């Protein structure tokens, strides 16, 4: 589920106007459809009679709606795909302050006349001079303060909302002082049922139509009907399908991308530089990257090794890189120096100390620090310390192992840009991507043609992107080509707009408009769930679900 709050809609008056129109339309269902189901204020009395007493003489007009402050929606908890069937579960807090609504209507004060109208003529005595007496009535709801905590469930079949903790406060003023207290009492009583029954059922019914887009009108009435018979208040469908058209296609697109990214079996991650799209979570495909960031000597020096290797020989760089990362960034993270580093002595004691301290800080309980004395200037001591650890030996081995059989296999991989080999390159520090482009590219391009027959590891050329592209965007050269081939530059925009509103577990209002039109041009994105044929996605009319390409 995605939300987008536009400041703009609240800043100018159009929002209030829109609410006013909607309310007017919702409050006068009978005037537009049929006169039978007219909402009358005295529901109790009307139940006793065969026909309803309708004391309303005219339609209800909403004179004024004024939301002085922007209603705030705060997402307290969001759980995407909590179960297999529900897509989203969330808790949010809705708050709205200092709003004002004024409605006007005309009521019939002469109740005997109404009584005469609905009673059978035969048994009703005639009354003289019993004409109608209409009284205009104005009700003003001032200082409306609403604070509610609601649970939202989005399932494949519909949206369920329950209001848990509703604080509604308003000042009520009626032009007829005589009725003010009684109306106020009734309103307060009915508020509970509105938030408990009416609103959730309305939203659910609406969303059900939206999700299944079945026969909308007929089915919905039958769904609402049992509710109306049991409760006094007849729930009215306030939201129409026309309301849903306001949902921007770009929002839906983002939503669908999010969902499809979760459900696809693709091994390539969606985001190049981040571990998780949702804060506090780690996605399975990003686990390796995540673990590669956990402070440890392995992780740190793996990069050193890569740098060293690439600077030394370009051909081994690729393979060793993948191997090293595969090894070191495995699920179990070992805290040890690679043998190569040790041999070369390219480590820095201060760095090691830093890393160790970070580990200690991260994990206070498990790590028991043993005090050690390290005498500076003595070379044998750190070497001995490293050699005692069992990992150092195997750490050296794979390099030599894999370097030899490396031949065409990694190459084809590289050509196809299989995700396993590429992922390590996308590690957070982009120095790897930079360093080859600086020095080595000219050589590589020259050697690119005759790579086929060469078996020696040294002669295996590295895959290079064309120079132009490298110069254009140095960081993104290592992006997944497959992805890039059809997302192109839009991808970045999409990601920016997709993930930027979520910061620090809070939902922030996004002001600028996303790059909607460019995204929609002749692209088909797969998306899930919100399948409504009335909304057209892209240029073709095909219905949305799972148009995987």
Partner 1 sequence: MLDYMDYVLRQFERCTSWNKDNSYENIDGTSRNIFQFDIPSSLKVQVSNKSTPYSYNTLELTNNKTINGSLTYLYTNCENLDQFIDGSCRVRLQEMVQSFRYIEPYYHHSKNTEQFKVPKVPISLVYGRMFYPSSSLEVMYVKRFPNHYQFILKCLSSKAGPSILTTYLQKNTKANCQELIFSTNEALLGYRFVHNFVSAGSKSNLSLYNNSSLSIGSEIWCTLLSLNPGCSTTLRYCSHATNTGKPLIFTLSLNPLYGHVSSTYSIKTHENLTFCTKYDFNVYSIQSNLTLGMELWKYSRSAAKVKTPEHLETAEEWPRLSSDKTPMYHHLLAPTENSSHSSQKLLKGLNLTFQSSLQKINKERNVIENFNQRYNEANFTQVFKVSTSLRDMNLRLLWEGRIKGFLVSAGAELTQPPELSTNGLDSLEHQNWSFISPSKFGIQLQYSA
- Chain residues binding partner 1 by CB under 8 A are 24, 28, 31-32, 45, 49-50, 58-61, 109-112, 115, 119-120, 122-131, 133-135
Distances (CA, A) of 245 to 160, 218, 482, 530, 544: 20, 21, 33, 12, 15
Minimum CB separation from partner 1 for residue 19, in Å? 16
- Which of 391, 395, 406 has its CA nearest to residue 317? 406
Residues 6+ apart with CB under 8 A from 179: 137
User: Minimum distance between the CB of residue 275 and partner 1, rounded to whole angstroms?
Assistant: 56
Which of 31/547 has CB closer to partner 1?
31
In terms of CB distance, is 145 or 240 closer to partner 1? 240
Closer of 109 and 509 to partner 1 (Cβ):
109
Min dist CB 126 to partner 1, Å, is: 5
- 8-state DSSP, 286: G
CB of 127 to partner 1, least distance (A): 6
Count the helix, strand and coil residues of the chain and give each as a percent rounded to the nearest 5: 45, 15, 40
How far apart are CB 51 and partner 1 at their closest, in Å?
A: 8
Task: Compute the least distance from the CB of residue 128 to partner 1, in Å.
Answer: 5
**Cβ atoms 445, 461 nearer than 8 A:** no
Report the C-alpha gap between 454 and 445 in whole angstroms: 16
CB of 23 to partner 1, least distance (A): 12
Instruction: Give whichever of 45 and 413 is closer to partner 1, judged by the CB atom.
Output: 45
Using the minimum distance from each CB to partner 1, give the nearer residue, 102 or 435.
Answer: 102
User: What phi and psi values does residue 83 have, to the nearest 5 degrees?
Assistant: -125, 180
DSSP secondary structure string, 375-427?
-TT-SHHHHHHHHHSTTHHHHHHHHHHHHTT-SHHHHHHHHHT-HHHHGGGG-
Residue placing its CB nearer to partner 1 in the complex, 28 or 421: 28
Considering just the CA atoms, what is the radius of gyration of the chain in Å? 34
Please work out, in degrees rounded to the nearest 5, the angle formed at the alpha carbon of residue 430 by the alpha carbons of 427 and 435. Answer: 125
> Helix, strand, or coil here: 100?
strand
> Smallest distance, Å, CB 158 to partner 1?
32
Find the shortest distance in angstroms from Cβ 272 to partner 1: 55
Q: How far is the CB of 236 from partner 1 (least distance, A)?
A: 16
Task: Specify the 3-state DSSP secondary structure of 359.
Answer: helix
CB closer to partner 1 out of 55 and 306: 55
Nearest to 203 by CA among 240, 242, 246: 240
Give whole-number Cα distances, 98 to 147, 184, 190, in Å: 12, 18, 21
Among residues 20 and 478, whose Cβ is nearest to partner 1? 20
| Nearer to partner 1 among residue 44 and residue 373 (C-beta) | 44
Q: Nearer to partner 1 by C-beta: 112 or 468?
A: 112
Given the complex with partner 1, which of 122 and 332 has the nearer CB atom?
122
Q: Is 92 left (phi over 0), alpha (psi -120 to 50) or beta?
A: beta
Are the beta carbons of 72 and 28 closer than 8 angstroms? no
Least separation, in Å, of the C-beta of 528 and partner 1?
A: 41
Contact status, residue 538 vs residue 523, Cβ threshold 8 Å:
yes
Residue 507 pairs with which residues in a beta bridge? 502
Q: How far is CA 406 from the centre of its chain?
A: 42
184 vs 196: CA distance, rounded Å: 19
3-state secondary structure 489-506: CHHHHHHHHHHCCEECCE
């Amino acid at each position: 589920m995605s939300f987008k709050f536009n400041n703009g809609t609240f800043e100018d008056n159009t929002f209030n106007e829109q609410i006013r129109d909607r309310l007017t339309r919702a409050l006068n269902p009978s005037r537009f459809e049929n006169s039978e189901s007219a909402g009358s204020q005295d529901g109790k009395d009307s139940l006793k009679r065969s026909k309803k007493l309708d004391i309303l003489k005219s339609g209800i007009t909403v004179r004024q709606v004024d939301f002085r402050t922007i209603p705030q929606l705060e997402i307290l908890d969001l759980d995407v795909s909590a179960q297999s069937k529900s897509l989203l579960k969330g808790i949010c807090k809705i708050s709205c302050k200092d709003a004002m609504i004024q409605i006007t209507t005309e009521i019939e004060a002469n109740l005997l006349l109404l009584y005469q109208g609905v009673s059978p003529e035969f048994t009703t005595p005639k009354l003289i001079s019993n004409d109608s007496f209409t009284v205009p009535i104005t009700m003003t709801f001032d200082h409306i303060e609403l604070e509610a905590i609601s649970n939202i469930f989005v399932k494949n079949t519909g949206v369920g909302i329950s209001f848990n903790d509703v604080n509604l406060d308003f000042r009520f003023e009626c032009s007829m002082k005589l009725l003010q207290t009684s109306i106020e009492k009734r309103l307060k009583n009915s508020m509970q049922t509105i938030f408990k029954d009416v609103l959730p059922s309305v939203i659910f019914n609406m969303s059900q139509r939206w999700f299944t887009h079945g026969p909308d009108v007929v089915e919905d009435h039958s769904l609402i009907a049992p509710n109306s018979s049991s409760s006094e208040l007849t729930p009215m469908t306030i939201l129409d399908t026309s309301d849903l058209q306001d949902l921007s296609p770009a929002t839906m697109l983002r939503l669908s991308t999010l969902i499809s990214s979760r459900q696809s079996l693709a091994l390539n991650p969606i985001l190049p530089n981040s571990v998780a799209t949702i804060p506090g979570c780690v996605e399975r495909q990003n686990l390796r990257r995540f673990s590669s960031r956990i402070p440890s000597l392995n992780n740190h020096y793996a990069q050193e090794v890569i740098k060293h290797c690439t600077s030394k020989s370009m051909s081994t760089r690729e393979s060793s890189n993948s191997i090293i990362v595969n090894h070191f960034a495995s699920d179990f993270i070992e805290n040890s120096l690679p043998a190569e580093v040790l041999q070369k002595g390219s480590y820095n004691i201060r760095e090691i100390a830093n890393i160790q301290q970070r580990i200690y800080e991260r994990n206070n309980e498990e790590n028991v620090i043993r005090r050690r004395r390290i005498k500076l200037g003595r070379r044998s001591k750190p070497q001995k310390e490293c050699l005692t650890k069992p990992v150092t030996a195997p750490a050296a081995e794979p390099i030599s192992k894999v370097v030899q059989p490396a031949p065409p296999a990694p190459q084809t991989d590289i050509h196809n840009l299989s995700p396993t080999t590429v992922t390590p390159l996308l590690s957070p520090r982009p120095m790897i991507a930079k360093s080859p482009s600086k020095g080595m590219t000219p050589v590589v391009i020259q050697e690119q043609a005759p790579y086929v027959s060469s078996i020696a590891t040294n002669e295996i050329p590295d895959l290079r992107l064309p120079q132009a592209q490298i110069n254009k965007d140095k960081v993104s050269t290592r992006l997944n080509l497959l992805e890039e081939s059809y997302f192109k530059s839009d991808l970045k925009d999409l990601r920016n707009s997709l993930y930027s509103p979520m910061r620090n577990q809070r939902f922030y209002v996004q002001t600028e408009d996303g790059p909607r039109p460019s995204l929609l041009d002749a692209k088909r994105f797969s998306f899930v769930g919100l399948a409504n044929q009335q909304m057209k996605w892209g240029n073709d009319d095909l219905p949305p679900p799972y148009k995987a390409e």
